Amino acid sequence: MTTTAAPAHARTLHVHKGHGTQNDFVLLDGREPGTELDAPLVRALADRRSGLGGDGVIRLVASEALPEGRALLADDPRATQFMDYRNADGSVAEMCGNGVRVTALLARRLGLWDPTTGDLVLGTRAGVRVVRHEPAPGVRADGTPEPDWYAVDMGPWRLPGGTGGGDGDRPGAGPAAAPAGLPDARSSVTVPGLPPGLPGLDVDLGNPHTVVVLPDEGALVAADLTAVPLVEPAPPAGTNVELVLPTGEETGADGRLVGRARMRVHERGVGETRSCGTGACAAALAVRVWAGAGAPDTWFVDVPGGTVRVRVLAGGHVELAGPAVLVADAVLDRDALLA
Ligand SMILES: N[C@@H](CCC[C@H](N)C(=O)O)C(=O)O
pLDDT for res 217: 97
309, part of any domain: yes
User: Is-contact 97 311, C-beta < 8 A?
Assistant: no
35 annotated among ligand-binding-site residues: no
Question: N- to C-terminal Cα distance for the chain?
Answer: 26
318, part of any domain: no
Please report, for the chain, how many H helices and E strands are present, in that order: 6, 18
6, part of any domain: no
pLDDT tens for residues 245-294?
A: 999 999 988 899 999 999 999 999 999 999 999 999 999 999 998 888 88
pLDDT tens for residues 294-323?
A: 899 999 999 999 999 999 998 999 999 999
Domain count across the chain = 2
pLDDT for res 1: 47
276 included as an active-site residue: yes
**Lowest-pLDDT range, 98-107, 133-142, 169-178, 253-262?**
169-178
Contacts with 41 (C-beta within 8 Å, 6 or more apart), sequence order? 57, 337, 338
Q: How far apart are CA 216 and CA 213, in angstroms?
A: 9
pLDDT tens for residues 162-208?
A: 555 543 344 433 333 334 444 455 799 999 999 999 999 999 999 99
Same domain? 51 vs 119:
yes
Same domain? 134 vs 258:
no
pLDDT for res 292: 85
The count of residues in the chain is 339
Any ligand 1 atom below 6 A from CB of 152? no
Q: How far apart are CA 324 and CA 287, in angstroms?
A: 25
Same domain? 75 vs 97:
yes
| Whole-complex ipTM | 0.99
pTM: 0.92
35: DSSP letter: -
224, part of any domain: yes
- CATH code where residue 101 lies: 3.10.310.10
Which is the closest atom of ligand 1 to the Cα of 98?
Answer: 12
Domain that holds residue 30: 12-148+325-338
For residue 329, pLDDT over 80 is answered with yes
pLDDT tens for residues 6-30?
A: 455 679 999 999 999 999 999 999 9
153, part of any domain: no
Which is the closest atom of ligand 1 to the Cα of 87?
Answer: 7
Any ligand 1 atom below 6 A from CB of 87? yes
194, part of any domain: yes
pLDDT for res 184: 54
- Choice from 131, 240, 308 to test ligand 1 binding pocket (greatest atom count within 8 A of CB): 240
